[in-house]
Structure formats: structure tokens, C-alpha cells
């Protein structure tokens, strides 16, 4: 089908439906409870709405870059849906971008992020009920698995459909998650003291050790 047959943008119902699906999906995995949780979830939701607005509603990035794109890639239909997969265009990748390496990689990263969110929440919830420090499951590998999960989902979407707005939002969101994580660490350290210091000394905050977690883990931690 051609661009004239099927509009690629102005599909506001798709914007709403896709935004709701991913926001509700993320909510079911992260279960925000505290005001801090809701701030984190709200920032994630804003990113999702901005993404799908450009994906199906109004292609702001395409409009802003149209002059440069048309000059550099004269044969491309900028108003086609495939043109929105800018990495494929910029890297000169051939074929349908939906089946390209970047799209497949983005899907894997997004799914991994959601699974990490869900697995971390289950461990944290169980630890909170028992008044213990969460150090098993994803918490055995990194101290902030839920924030890592959110970042992976955002990164996956950037690999799939980059926009100027979401690219600008991404570093600010990462900085916000790092700030929230440090705030939570101070609070948890006040509660668990040396136990948390020992856990933090053995467990990286964001990037797991290639060799895996230590074997001597005992079992409310940070996100």
C-alpha cells in the first residue's frame, strides 16, 4: 500500500490505545505505591505518550528534519510509517524496518525490561512483608533492578522509533532514576545499617558483574 492509500499519521485512536496498553502494562509490572514510585511511573508514562504521539499522531521530528532528510535521502517518502524508523534510514538499512535487526533488538530489550520490572517487584514485595532486605532474584545482581527495567524499556523504544523529544527526555529520565535510587539507598541504609552496607559492597548498583552474584546471599530494598 502507498502513503496515499493509508495515512501513516493522524491516527489519534492508535495513540491513545497504544499509550494505554503500555502504561497499564508497566503499571502491572511495577505496582507503584509511594509518591516516589508514582513520580517514576509518571515520567515513564510521559515518555510513552510522547513516543506514540509521534509514531501515530503528529510526526514532529519528521517535520523538523524534513529539509535535511529530503536532501540527504531524496527517494524517501517522509510521510510513510517506515520513514519514522529513523535509525534504519540514517544507517541505510534495507527492507522493512519492522523485521530489521534494530527492531528485533528493541523488542528483546523492551521485553527484558518488563520482565526485570516484574521480577524485582515480586522480590521487593515479599521482602517488605517480612521486614527484610531484598537481596535475592534480580536484587542479587543489581541494587536497583526496577529502575534498570524502566531504563531498558525506554532504551528499547529509542532503538525502535527515535524522536527528538524522547531522545531529549531519555538522559533526564535516567538522571531522575539515579537521583531516586540514591535517595532510596539513604533511607534503606538508615533502616538496615551494616546489613545494607555489606549488600551494597558486594552488589553493583546498575551493571551486574559478568561472573554473576556471590553465592553467600542471605535474603525492604531499593528499586
Domains detected in the chain: 12-202 (1.20.120)
Cα separations in angstroms, 190 against 183, 186, 196: 11, 6, 9
pLDDT digits (tens, 9 = 90+) for 76-102: 888 888 888 999 888 888 888 988 899
Quickly state the pLDDT bin for 166 (edges 50, 70, 90): very high
Rounded distance, CA 166 to CA 46, Å?
9
The predicted model scores a pTM of 0.88
What sign does the dihedral 55-180-212-126 (CA atoms) show? Answer: negative
CA angle 47, 49, 50 (to 5 degrees): 65
Sequence-separated (6 or more) residues with CB below 8 Å from residue 169? 46, 47, 50
Quickly state the pLDDT bin for 216 (edges 50, 70, 90): low
pLDDT at 94: 83
Evaluate if residue 5 carries a pLDDT over 60: no
Lowest pLDDT segment from 72-81, 111-120, 186-195:
72-81
pLDDT mean across residues, the chain = 89
pLDDT at 33: 81
pLDDT, mean of residues 154-180 = 95
Rounded distance, CA 160 to CA 105, Å?
8
Q: Which residue has the higher pLDDT, 149 or 219?
A: 149
Lowest pLDDT segment from 30-44, 62-76, 202-216:
202-216
pLDDT at 77: 87
pLDDT digits (tens, 9 = 90+) for 13-44: 999 999 999 999 899 888 888 888 898 899 99
Amino acid at each position: 500500500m502507498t502513503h496515499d492509500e493509508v495515512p501513516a499519521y493522524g491516527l489519534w485512536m492508535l495513540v491513545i490505545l497504544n499509550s494505554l496498553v503500555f502504561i497499564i502494562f508497566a503499571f502491572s509490572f511495577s505496582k507503584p505505591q509511594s509518591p516516589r514510585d508514582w513520580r517514576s511511573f509518571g515520567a515513564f508514562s510521559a515518555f510513552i505518550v510522547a513516543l506514540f504521539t509521534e509514531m501515530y499522531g503528529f510526526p514532529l521530528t519528521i517535520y523538523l528534519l524534513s529539509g535535511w532528510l529530503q536532501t540527504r535521502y531524496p527517494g524517501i517518502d517522509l510521510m510513510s510509517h517506515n520513514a519514522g524508523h529513523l535509525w534504519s534510514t540514517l544507517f541505510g538499512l534495507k527492507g522493512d524496518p519492522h523485521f530489521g535487526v534494530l527492531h528485533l533488538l528493541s523488542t528483546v530489550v523492551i521485553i527484558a525490561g518488563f520482565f526485570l520490572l516484574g521480577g524485582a517487584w515480586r522480590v521487593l514485595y515479599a521482602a517488605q512483608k517480612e521486614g527484610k532486605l531484598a537481596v535475592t532474584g534480580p536484587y542479587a545482581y543489581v541494587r536497583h533492578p526496577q529502575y534498570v527495567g524502566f531504563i531498558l524499556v525506554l532504551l528499547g523504544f529509542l532503538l525502535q522509533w527515535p524522536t527528538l523529544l524522547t531522545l531529549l527526555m531519555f538522559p533526564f529520565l535516567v538522571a531522575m532514576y539515579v537521583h531516586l535510587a540514591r535517595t532510596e539507598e539513604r533511607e534503606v541504609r538508615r533502616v538496615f545499617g551494616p546489613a545494607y552496607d555489606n549488600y551494597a559492597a558486594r552488589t553493583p548498583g546498575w551493571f551486574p558483574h559478568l561472573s554473576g552474584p556471590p553465592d553467600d546471599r542471605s535474603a525492604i530494598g531499593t528499586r
